[in-house]
Structure 1
Amino acid sequence: MSAEDDENFLRSCFVSTGALNDLRSMWSPKCIVVGRTGSGKSALLLSLQEEEENVIKIDPESLSLNYISNSTIIQFFDSLGIDLNVFYQLLWRHVLAVELIKMKKQLNDEATSKSWIATLRQKLMGNPKKQKAINYLFEYGDSFWADTEERVREVVTKIEKGFEDQIGINIEAFKTKLTADMKDKNLESIQQTTEIVSKAQRVVNGVQLQELNAVMDLLSEDVFDDDQERFYIVIDDLDTGWVHDSIRFKLIRALIETIKKFKKVPNLKIVISLRADLLESVLSHTTSAGFQQEKYEDMYLRLRWSESQLKELSDKRISLLFKQQYTNSSASFYDIFSKKVGDTDAFSYMFERTLQRPRDVIAFVNQCLEDAAGQTSITHRTIRQAEDAYSQNRLRSLADEWREAYGDLEGVLECLSAVDPRFSAKDLTQEIMENACLTLMCDESDENGYGVFRKQCDLILSSQSTWDEMRKKVFEVLYSVGALGLKTRDGAPYAWSFQNQPTLQYNKVTDETTFAIHPMLFKALGKYTDPRRLI
């Protein structure tokens, strides 16, 4: 069910939705693939790597950016509120520029690198601006042949030294002095500290953006100057633990801004993938004054799947499975599945019980195949039977998918078993929420310790919040993760986060608002209502 482990089926069963064409096109601004877990982001990037010749895949873990979070100097100045965004952009630009030059010019050893650099310097002898750009690249380390980790260390060490040189004292001694001064409330010394912090900010601001822009011109005009060649950098797995959480959002924000700057190079494209919830977290945690999100909207390629596209995906995968294991003739979904479940088309029945993404469909079909072992076909009874295990697994997967953002969700999802499949806000009573809180407070396995709901329970216990606030939080989060949909008035369709607005504006919830539990969770929560009017 994950693209990186699906090489056999992925290559033969790829379904074209137009997204790959957007990524390959140098004219299209789409370069940040945004989607939920299991929506096909990794599959899309893997296909791009297979379709194009000149692709650099950068594994975030190989960058060793934890070196930054482990730097006591960087950590210290970050804790003092110094804006390090320009420094993070410098780091990304340097790493990406060097990786591109290495690939384009095949600079894999010291001798080749020095020869190319000398030739380039000679060529640009009469261009002071580009000479500065070359000097700037080597100011932060001239080891083009070294691995990426070493170059990251070179850049960070350079900034650290700049901090100490500008301040004129040892950072560790300064930290000890500041701690003592804050404890003694020594105002004169604290004022001196403020001046030192101001100097440190100047070190960051001193990153020469003009030279950075000159590097872009150098790449465009003197390195990637062949219009017939296209080059790509692909970065996936930014949602994994490649760097400490304390700086991850800031580094991703800086990467997004850096990608925008590299658009000056016409035959180069940097493509990254981000979970939809991770992008929302990055923007909410790092947005500064004057930030305009709409300026970045053109860069987002939001993955959405129709029922017909997911049906095509199922047909292709079933056909390949049967060719490999049973027969050389093709088989499609309806060759082995019952055409109806009750009065509903069988695939539509299964589609309604997904969050409209490939992983859910693959999981449901696989469960049906497992439960139908030894049978000649998959009947409507088998589909309903498979739905039991599928629904339980999807509930757990949904909680796992959003655990990083919200903490433990299973206890909160289970509280939906106490309401009808369609219900109003007031039906989520205080008693139901108290039971959810008891489950959360008694859960000693919660590795995140304090997710949003456990924090909310603590606030209620200490009289710092109310059950109304808890109810609001439940609806906002469960709507965002896709467990709940809502319609604001009779006759209106249900809105879902994976189809419509990704977040819930709770101030628009009224007595007329109806919430609905997603049919994917029906069996796990003991619900048996016909969902045809929900999705």
Structure 2
Amino acid sequence: MADQPGLAQLHFGREDAERDVTEGLLLRGGFLPNAAYRGALSGRKMLIIGRKGSGKSAICMQLMSDGEGGHRGGKVLVTPDEAAGEEIRRFELQGLPGDSAKALIWRYVFAVHAARHLVDHAKGAHDGGHKTDSVKALGRFLKQNGEAAGGGGRLVERLAQGARGLQTSLSLEAFGVKASVDLAQSPSEGARAARQLEIVEQGVARAFEDLGCDGVVHPPLLLMVDQLEQVWSVEPDSNSMVIGLLLAAKHAASLYGRSVRFLLFLRADIYDSLSFGEGDKFHGDELRIAWTEQALKDLAWARARASVGEELTEERLWKELFPETVGGEEITGHLFGRCLPRPRDAIQFLNLCQEKAWLEHERDRITEADVAQAGRQFSEWKLNDLTSEYLVAHPFLRNLFPLFQNTGYVVTRAALTRRFEAAAETLHHDFPAYANALTLPGIIDVLHGVGFLGVRRGNDVVYAGDDGLPVQPHETEFQVHPCFRVALGATTAFDLRRYEPQFADARISSGNYSPGASGSSSLNRDDRLLMQLARSCHSILAQVGRAVGLTRDVRDEITLQINRVLAEVNRIPPGAAASVGLDVDDHLLTTAHYFTNLAAQLRAGGLEESTGVGDVARRVEEEVRRLRRSAGGSYGSSGDSSGY
């Protein structure tokens, strides 16, 4: 065991793909091929869609690599920065709508990248190819327009130059066209720009054809666009920028055929916010990244082996380096159930567990306490990250979190209605531009869409991404995602007051008590009252068990509190109540009062009657009446009522 890899070597890589390539594990066995990667590599899909941190850039970096798993042909990656994004957003042409104008500037970017690739490619991969007339024409065009092959220059500078050319005139003499004369009759600025671009694109397509670069002799050019979220906002010009990109890629893919393959990596919330007439034409090109708990577990093991060595087994990872269970829950279920289903979250949580154990506590294995400590910090991170992720689209998101703080994580529509009504005026005052969205149905849709709330459907709780169905008006029960519960203080299912034992049990534990007279088999009154309390607990538990419509977590929470009452009763030996200082009448009435409050909380929780919660509340109330009759009075004791 001593020579096996230890906790010090264990690392799950960097959470951002760009650093993971150079400093981490992405290209050292830490990449897990999935459906999105296979769809991208095969060319079957053009749009890779996923949430922030879902692995879009990891796929992009893997394809850009020269090693195993990378694209074997030419490849170009376009990642606009803020300056380049601003150039595209501001680009407009008289006579064309915004989407169409933005499509032209993107088509120009694609054509220039393809032309630069062809000029370089013809020199190295095709004997004498650089002497082909069409390739020489591309070289002259690039030089005349400041886009020389092999040259540098920031994307924003090339965009600015291309925008000026499209808005005025490009130098097209390389293709035998004098723009000032041959395009003078164009009816508008937009029409002239479109005609100029067609000439350039035809020149690029001709060069591909002349060189025989049809994706058969060698793999096609792969042209990818990533990191658009860095330059996107909710403004119409930003949406036009993305729509223009989609239209341009569709057009260019058709024009260049098998010679060029396009891949666009888009964040799901950006793509889903778009609305344009040709949107239905892209469904066949879409592939959404989805991660299951098993896939995240496989990824974690792959990255663990990449960090410490191939000899690391799954069993050693999850049963020796990590604790086998946490709070009675199997370790991988505990870890990955508390992450949003995406690699970045899993990597952060796993690394945090390792750091708590090895860096902070100098342990050679991770303990339950380390996982719990990491879980608290991770939950706080993720609550803040959720706000940042949707700051542009939903700037009010952070202000909704207090509706869920320090309460149960199972939330009904009725309970949420009461909380929202109390906060609505402040929300509308602070975010007047979003007043139409800040309604009860509106915030439920937003919170479900970002993964904060799941909706109960049958016996399952469904979160965004589990299926495509939004929250329906008839759905009334929701759950805060486990990822955020600790940070919110919402660690129990239902907002039930915890039952606290009413007397110290040290004397019972030590045996320091005086039971009834030796040899007496008769039960005294105290014993009979305690037996009645135990029967009441069993009756309530049986009713809870029959309430199959209740969410399991709510059922478990009610059961937990009733079992706490029952456990206290069972600790008192027959005939020993008086000697341990227990006033049984007062104890019974105090417990009855706790049950009364419990029934009221169940009714006020807003759970549907069909769940069986009403039957449970009625059973509790019946047992309260029975206990009070047995004790011969109603609650009015001056004793401590710490149980409610």
Offset at 1:378? 1.9
Contact 1:101 1:107 in 2 (8 A): no
Instruction: Give the drift of 1:220.
Output: 4.5
2:240 aligned with 1:250, yes or no? yes
Given candidates 44, 48, 61, the residue that maps to 1:33 is 48
Evaluate the alpha carbon distance shift between residue 69 and residue 310 of structure 1 in structure 2; reply closer, same or farther with a 3 A threshold: closer
Is the 2:46–2:285 Cα contact (8 Å) retained in structure 1?
yes
- Equivalent residue for 1:55? 75
Question: What amino acid does structure 1 have at the position aligned with 2:337?
Answer: E
Q: CA deviation at 1:348?
A: 0.8
* Mapped pair 1:10 → 2:26: yes
Amino acid at match of 1:455: A
- Counterpart in the other structure of 2:482: 519
Instruction: Return the TM-score normalized by structure 2.
Output: 0.61
Equivalent residue for 1:128?
none
The alpha-carbon distance between structure 1 residues 2 and 433, as it changes in their structure 2 partners (threshold 3 A), is farther
Q: How many Å apart are 1:474 and its aligned residue?
A: 1.1
1:429 CA drift (Å): 3.3
Match of 1:262 among 252, 265, 271: 252
| 1:273 CA displacement | 0.9
Kindly name which structure, 1 or 2, has the bigger radius of gyration based on alpha carbons: 2
Q: Which residue of 1 aligns with 2:467?
A: 500
Per the alignment, residue 412 of structure 2 pairs with 424
Normalising by structure 1, we get a TM-score of 0.72
* Partners of 2:265 and 2:485 in 1: CA distance: 31
* Residue equivalent to 2:227: 237
Query: Structure 2 vs 1, CA of residues 433 and 244 (structure 1 numbering), >3 Å: closer, same or farther?
Result: closer
Q: CA deviation at 1:338?
A: 1.3
Partners of 1:487 and 1:519 in 2: CA distance:
14
Asked whether the equivalents of residues 216 and 262 of structure 1 are also in contact (C-alpha less than 8 Å), the reply is: no
2:354 maps to 1:369: yes
Match of 2:230, SS state, is: coil
Give the % identical residues: 23
Residue of structure 2 aligned with 1:389, choices 377, 383, 404: 377
Partner of 2:298: 312
1:19 alignment partner, one of 15, 36, 39: 36
1:346: how far off? 0.9
Alpha carbon RMSD of aligned pairs, Å? 3.8
Letter in 2 for 1:299: D
2:473 corresponds to = 509
**Aligned: 1:303 with 2:289:** yes
Q: Which moved more, 1:7-16 or 1:376-385?
A: 376-385
Of the candidates 57, 60, 70, which is equivalent to residue 45 of structure 1? 60
Letter in 2 for 1:105: V
Pick one of 193, 204, 210 that aligns with 2:190. Answer: 204
Contact (CA 8 Å) 1:418, 1:432: kept in 2 or not? no
Aligned length: 442
Match of 1:97 among 111, 120, 123: 111
CA distance in 2, matches of 1:329, 1:496: 33
Deviation at 1:82, TM superposition (A): 5.3
Q: Alignment partner of 2:362: what SS?
A: coil
Give the direction of change, closer, same or farther, for the CA distance of 1:150–1:379 in structure 2 (3 Å limit). closer
Partner of 1:455: 433
Q: 2:473 is aligned with what amino acid?
A: V
Q: Is the 8 A contact 1:419 1:428 kept in 2?
A: no
* Rounded Cα–Cα distance in structure 2 between residues aligned with 1:201 and 1:388: 64
The answer to whether 1:228 aligns with 2:191 is: no
- Distance in 1 (CA, whole Å) between partners of 2:377 and 2:209 is 58
Distance across 1 between alignment mates of 2:462 and 2:187 = 46
CA offsets 1:69-113 (integer angstroms, 9 cap, x no match): 557xx49x6xxx95133332222222212211212321899xxxx
Contact (CA 8 Å) 2:41, 2:63: kept in 1 or not?
yes
Distance in 2 between the 1:381 and 1:244 partners?
A: 43
AA aligned opposite 1:240: Q
Q: 1:263 deviation in Å?
A: 2.3
**Counterpart of 2:498?**
none
Q: How far 1:300 sits from its partner (Å)?
A: 1.6
Q: Alignment partner of 2:287: what SS? A: strand
Mind listing any 5+ residue stretches in structure 1 that lack a counterpart? 110-114, 124-130, 163-198, 443-449, 460-464
Q: Deviations over 1:27-65 (max 9, x none)?
A: x1x122111111111111000011124211222129835
2: CA distance between counterparts of 1:357 and 1:159? 41
Q: What is the letter of the counterpart of residue 268 of structure 1?
A: V
In the TM superposition, residue 478 of structure 1 has moved relative to its aligned partner by: 0.4
1:183 aligned residue = none
Question: Which letter does structure 2 place at the counterpart of 1:352?
Answer: G
Superposed, which structure 2 residues align to 1:69-108 within 5 Å? Answer: 69=89, 74=92, 83-106=97-120
Q: Tell me, which stretches of 5 or more residues in structure 2 are unaligned?
A: 1-14, 170-184, 495-550, 554-644
Q: Hey, what's the Cα distance between the residues in 1 that align with 2:76 and 2:40?
A: 14
Contact 1:35 1:275 in 2 (8 A): yes
Q: Distance in 2 between matches of 1:84 and 1:383?
A: 51
Q: What's the counterpart of residue 166 of structure 1?
A: none
Q: In the aligned structure 2, how far is the partner of 1:360 from the partner of 1:420? A: 24
Aligned-residue offset at 1:385: 2.7
How many Å separate the matches in 1 of 2:490 and 2:263? 42
Partners in 2 of 1:160 and 1:39 — Cα distance?
38
Residues 89 and 102 of structure 2 are in contact (CA less than 8 Å); yes or no, is this contact kept in structure 1?
Answer: no
Is 2:103–2:248's contact at 8 Å kept on the other side of the alignment?
yes
Q: Which residue of 2 aligns with 1:194?
A: none
Deviations 1:460-496 (A, max 9, x none): xxxxx7xx962122101101100001125xx352221
**Structure 2: which amino acid aligns with 1:473?**
G
| Alignment of structure 1 residues 152-171 onto 2, 5 Å | 152-161=159-168
Distance 1:158 1:317, change over 3 A: closer
Q: Which residue of 2 aligns with 1:482?
A: 451
Using CA pairs under 8 Å that are at least 6 residues apart, name the structure with larger relative contact order, 1 or 2: 1
In 2, distance between residues paired with 1:205 and 1:533? 63
Q: 1:435 to 1:47 in 2, by over 3 A?
A: same
Indicate if the aligned counterparts of 1:35 and 1:41 stay in contact, CA closer than 8 A.
yes
Assess if the C-alpha contact under 8 Å between 2:224 and 2:262 holds in 1.
yes
Moved more, 414-423 or 217-226: 217-226
Residue 277 (structure 1) aligns with: 269
Which moves more between the two structures, 217-226 or 422-431? 217-226
Partner of residue 327 from structure 2, selected from 314, 339, 342: 342
Contact 1:69 1:246 in 2 (8 A): no
User: What residue is the counterpart of 1:186 in the other structure?
Assistant: none
Pair 1:65–1:475, CA change in 2 (3 A)? closer
CA distance in 2, matches of 1:108, 1:440: 61
Deviation at 1:432, TM superposition (A): 4.3
Contact 1:394–1:520 (CA<8 Å) still a contact in 2?
Answer: yes
What code does the residue aligned with 2:159 have? V
Contact 1:107 1:144 in 2 (8 A): no
Q: Tell me the distance in 2 between the aligned counterparts of 1:414 and 1:379.
A: 32
> Counterparts of 1:66 and 1:117 in 2: how far apart (Å)?
36
- 1:135 positional shift: 13
